[in-house]
Chain A
Amino acid sequence: MSNQDLSAYSGIWCVGEVRHGKLAPTIFEILTAGGQIAAALGQKLSVVLIGSGLGPWTKEVIEAGADQVYLIDHSSLEQFVDEAYAKALTDLVNQEKPRALFLPASTIGRSLAGRAAVMLKTGAAADLTDLSAASGSNGFEKGTLLATRPSYGGNILATLVNTRSRPEIYTIRPMVFPRSPKDSTRTGVVRNITVDPATWNLRTKFIAFQAESSNEIDIGSADKIVSGGRGLGKAEGFETVRSLAKALSAAVGASRAAVDSGWIPYKHQVGITGRTVRPKLYVACGVSGQVQHLAGMGQSEVIVAINKDPECPMMKLASFSIEADLYEFIPAAVKELQKHQS
Chain B
Amino acid sequence: MPLNIVVCIKQTPATGSVSIDPQTGDISKEGISYAISPFDEYALEEGLRLKERFPGGATLALTMGAVRAEEILREAIARGVDGVYHLCDEAFDGSDTFATSYILSQGIRKIEEERKIKIDLVICAKQTNDGDTGQVGPGLAAWLDWPNTAYVKKVEQVTDTLLRVHRMMEDGTDILEIQRPALISVVKEINEPRLPSLKGKMAAKKAVIPRWGASDIKADPALIGLKGSLVEIAKRQSPPKRAGGLKIGGATIEEKAKIFVDKLRELKLL
Asked if B188 and A273 make an inter-chain contact with CB atoms under 8 angstroms apart, the answer reads: yes
- Contact A273/B39 with A161-B234, A203-B182, A209-B172 known, Cβ cut-off 8 Å: yes
Asked if A122 and B230 make an inter-chain contact with CB atoms under 8 angstroms apart, the answer reads: yes
Q: Which of B146, B223, B232, B245 has the most CB of A within 10 A?
A: B245
Residues on B with C-beta less than 8 A from A273 are 38-39, 129, 188
| Partner among A80, A107, A116, A123 whose Cβ is within 8 Å of the Cβ of B96 | A123
Residues on B with C-beta less than 8 A from A113 are 135, 138
**Would you call B251 an interface residue if the criterion is a C-beta within 8 Å of the partner chain's C-beta atoms?**
no
For residue B167, give the distance in angstroms from its CB to the closest CB of chain A: 8
Residues on A with C-beta less than 8 A from B151 are 107, 111
A20 to B174, CA, bound (A): 12
**Would you call A7 an interface residue if the criterion is a C-beta within 8 Å of the partner chain's C-beta atoms?**
no
Asked if A204 and B236 make an inter-chain contact with CB atoms under 8 angstroms apart, the answer reads: no
Q: Could you tell me how many residues of chain B have their Cβ less than 8 Å away from some Cβ of chain A?
A: 86
**Would you call B206 an interface residue if the criterion is a C-beta within 8 Å of the partner chain's C-beta atoms?**
no
**Would you call A163 an interface residue if the criterion is a C-beta within 8 Å of the partner chain's C-beta atoms?**
yes
A328 to B179, CA, bound (A): 55
Q: Which of B137, B170, B232 has the most CB of A within 10 A?
A: B170
Q: Could you tell me how many residues of chain A have their Cβ less than 8 Å away from some Cβ of chain B?
A: 97
**Would you call A278 an interface residue if the criterion is a C-beta within 8 Å of the partner chain's C-beta atoms?**
no
A157 to B237, CA, bound (A): 5
Which residues, 285 to 342 on A, are CB-close (under 8 Å) to B? 291-292, 295, 298-299, 302-304, 310, 316-324, 328-329, 332-333, 335-337, 340
Asked if A151 and B245 make an inter-chain contact with CB atoms under 8 angstroms apart, the answer reads: no
| Partner among A115, A152, A162 whose Cβ is within 8 Å of the Cβ of B129 | A152
* A318 to B, closest residue via Cβ: B245
A140 to B169, CA, bound (A): 38
20 examples of A-B residue contacts, CB within 8 angstroms: A1-B222, A19-B171, A82-B148, A83-B147, A107-B167, A111-B149, A117-B98, A118-B102, A119-B142, A156-B236, A159-B235, A159-B237, A164-B230, A209-B169, A310-B247, A317-B242, A320-B247, A329-B256, A336-B260, A336-B261
- On A, residues with C-beta under 8 Å from B are 1-2, 19-20, 79-83, 86, 106-107, 110-119, 121-127, 140, 146, 149-165, 202-212, 218, 220-221, 224, 248, 266-267, 272-274, 280-281, 291-292, 295, 298-299, 302-304, 310, 316-324, 328-329, 332-333, 335-337, 340
